[in-house]
Amino acid sequence: MSEQDSEDYKVIIIGAGNGGLVAAARLALASVKVLLIEQHNLPGGFASSFVRGRFEFETSLHELADYGSDSNPGDIKKLFERVLNVDTEFLEIPEAYRIITKDIDVVMPFGIESFLNAMEKEVPESRESVKNFFQLAQDISNAFVYIGRSKGNPDQTVLIKEHSNFLKTAGYSAQEVENALGMPKKAQDILNAYWCYLGLPISRINFTLFAAMINTYIKRGAYIPRYRSTEFTLALDKRIRELGGDIMYNTRVEKILVENGQVVGVETSNGDIFKTSYVISNASQTLVYNKLIYPKSEVPEIAIKEVNARIHGLSAFVVYLGLDASAEELGINEYSYFIMDDMDTENLYDQWNELGVPKGQATVCLNAAIPDCSPPGTSIIYITTLYKPEAWKDVKLEDYVDVKNRIADGLITDFENALGVSIKDHIEEIEIATPQTFARYTRTYNGIIYGYEPESWDSLVPRLMMMGDHNYIKGLEFAGGFGRRCHGYSSALKDGELAALLVLNELTVKVEVKND
């Protein structure tokens, strides 16, 4: 029996989240026999939508970075259109954001020059320091392009000579670099509005990751799928099948079978066993090493130590609102709002450990980007805040509904007060998602929507630079929000491609060795 015949599939992928879908499509594109297994009845994971009454709500995506336009395409647009040939429609979000605190209320535009002009108008004498921030951020982006081309094995001499700023700033927090640039406090507060997308205080967010994210957003703008995330996840499903890949829904992988340190197959909740030498997991390393590897004796001690050293990220609380009045009637003019009492991010982060109404929210009005996303004379708003899952652990079953309704009411009130609008009398549909909701829906640990917290010691740079050293079981790779590129839609999508390319490289090497 040949090696090909001895395996049911060359690669099996666990989970049809963003990373798993792209990994499956990219492998199928290379004519690899691939099977994608998903426990839910549809693709996407958090990248999905749901309907209540007359409204279709986006489950979690606020905006997609690194998509870009036809004239200036980003990596995600190139991936979808040129590599995977996935046909979806994305619409541009009109402005970067409106940030509202007790001391700030400003709308910031996309485009580096426009952003600098708006910042200078709001904070005189801030231009030079903010400009230097974006120059550093571009240096970092250039370094990542080089690292990508080197397939994760960059020449240290080239890094030192041509990308020294990347190396100089890699170990610092965003706060430390902004202070070193002499950036005024108010300018920092405005610039740092996106901090909650990474879920760490500015004093702990790795500068490299933060700067790359800000530069991508402001330089290329942000986009949203015309028909919610379901549009592109279903398109990826279709593409995988067109390319000859197989997908199984309503099926859970119960075991990753390992012999002598090598993946040999998986066992599903249906009792089926599929033989393979490669598994890409969209599920976290924590879940895989603690529950899925079989037998347990095949789990290396170093793998357990690594996952236990990492810090799990945050879950979310979302209030989905379908309103019986248009955004214009209500006086809601922007798409993206960051509303916080102040920009003391340490204090705001600490609030997410407590079961109160956090004084920080990220809210979007979908109609500002997609005017006809809801019926005429209506609008869709969703208010998002974050929580450490532990904040909910002592809520009694009989108190759960009252607690979530109280928090939702407080967040709506804060939104109304910040904008000077009234929306409570216009609520036609309301749905509230807590960490428990996300845990039930995706079965992620404690409903975590972010991956591991990306502090400097466990952020983008060390994960990429050490990716070859973290393969503790042969044939096992990871993709998605817990992967090398950290969390977020764009990161998970690109991480899926990276995982697929690493496996393809392994397959190519095996074929070459065999031919020799």
User: Cα angle vertex 284, ends 146, 11, to 5°?
Assistant: 75
pLDDT tens, 210-242? 999 999 999 999 999 999 999 999 999 999 999
**Taking the model in full, what pTM does it have?**
0.94
Categorize the per-residue pLDDT at 4 as very low, low, confident or very high, splitting at 50, 70 and 90. very low
Residues 213 and 156 in one domain: yes
Categorize the per-residue pLDDT at 433 as very low, low, confident or very high, splitting at 50, 70 and 90. very high
Q: Which helix (H) or strand (E) holds 98?
A: strand 97-100
Residues 290 and 403 in one domain: no
The one-letter amino acid code at 380 reads I
Residues 403 and 459 in one domain: no
Q: Classify residue 210: in a domain, yes or no.
A: yes
Categorize the per-residue pLDDT at 509 as very low, low, confident or very high, splitting at 50, 70 and 90. low
At 505, list the tokens. Answer: 């490289």
At 366, list the tokens. Answer: 């979908």
Dihedral over Cα of 187, 128, 209, 179: its sign: negative
Q: How far apart are CA 59 and CA 230, in angstroms?
A: 9
Instruction: Please name which of 293, 291, 289, 292 lies closest in space to residue 303, comparing C-alpha atoms.
Output: 289
Residues 233 and 208 in one domain: no
Q: Is residue 5 pLDDT above 60, yes or no? A: no
Q: Classify residue 99: in a domain, yes or no.
A: no
Residues 240 and 342 in one domain: no
CATH number, residue 414:
3.30.519
pLDDT, position 514: 56
Residues 376 and 416 in one domain: yes
Q: Give the domain-ending residue among 198, 217, 236.
A: 217
Q: Classify residue 463: in a domain, yes or no.
A: yes
Q: Is residue 1 pLDDT above 60, yes or no? A: no
Secondary structure (DSSP) of 453-502: ---GGGSHHHHHHTGGGG--SBTEEE-STTSTT-SSHHHHHHHHHHHHHH
Domain range holding 186? 114-217
Categorize the per-residue pLDDT at 462 as very low, low, confident or very high, splitting at 50, 70 and 90. confident
Tell me what the pLDDT averaged over the chain comes to.
93
Q: Is residue 2 pLDDT above 70, yes or no? A: no
**Stretch 272-284: mean pLDDT:** 97
Residues 477 and 495 in one domain: yes
Q: Classify residue 107: in a domain, yes or no.
A: no
pLDDT tens, 112-171? 999 999 999 999 999 999 999 999 999 999 988 887 777 667 788 898 888 999 989 989
Q: Is residue 516 pLDDT above 60, yes or no? A: no
Q: Give the domain-ending residue among 182, 199, 217.
A: 217
Residues 273 and 328 in one domain: no
Q: How far apart are CA 233 and CA 44, in angstroms?
A: 5
Q: Is residue 513 pLDDT above 80, yes or no? A: no
**Stretch 187-207: mean pLDDT:** 96
Q: Classify residue 59: in a domain, yes or no.
A: no
CATH number, residue 306:
3.50.50.60
**Stretch 447-476: mean pLDDT:** 85
Q: At what angle do helices 112-122 and 127-149 cross, to 10 degrees?
A: 150
pLDDT, position 3: 39
Categorize the per-residue pLDDT at 468 as very low, low, confident or very high, splitting at 50, 70 and 90. low
pLDDT, position 510: 66
Q: How far apart are CA 379 and CA 54, in angstroms?
A: 10
Q: Classify residue 4: in a domain, yes or no.
A: no
Q: Classify residue 385: in a domain, yes or no.
A: yes
Least confident of 132-136, 170-174, 273-277, 405-409: 170-174
Secondary structure (DSSP) of 347-383: HHHHHTTSSS--SEEEEEEGGGT-TTSS-TT-EEEEE
Residues 284 and 260 in one domain: yes
Q: How far apart are CA 10 and CA 165, in angstroms?
A: 41
Number of domain units in the chain: 3
Residues 392 and 508 in one domain: no
Residues 170 and 211 in one domain: yes
Q: Classify residue 212: in a domain, yes or no.
A: yes
Per-residue buried b or exposed e for 357-391, using 16+ beta carbons within 10 Å of the residue's own CB: bbbbbbbbbbbbbbeebbeeebbbbbbbbbbbbeb
Strand 293-294 and strand 253-259: pairing? Answer: parallel
Q: Give the domain-ending residue among 424, 445, 466.
A: 445
Residues 262 and 410 in one domain: no
Categorize the per-residue pLDDT at 207 as very low, low, confident or very high, splitting at 50, 70 and 90. very high
The one-letter amino acid code at 69 reads S
Share above pLDDT 90 across residues of the chain, in percent, rounded to a whole number:
85
Q: How far apart are CA 463 and CA 460, in angstroms?
A: 5
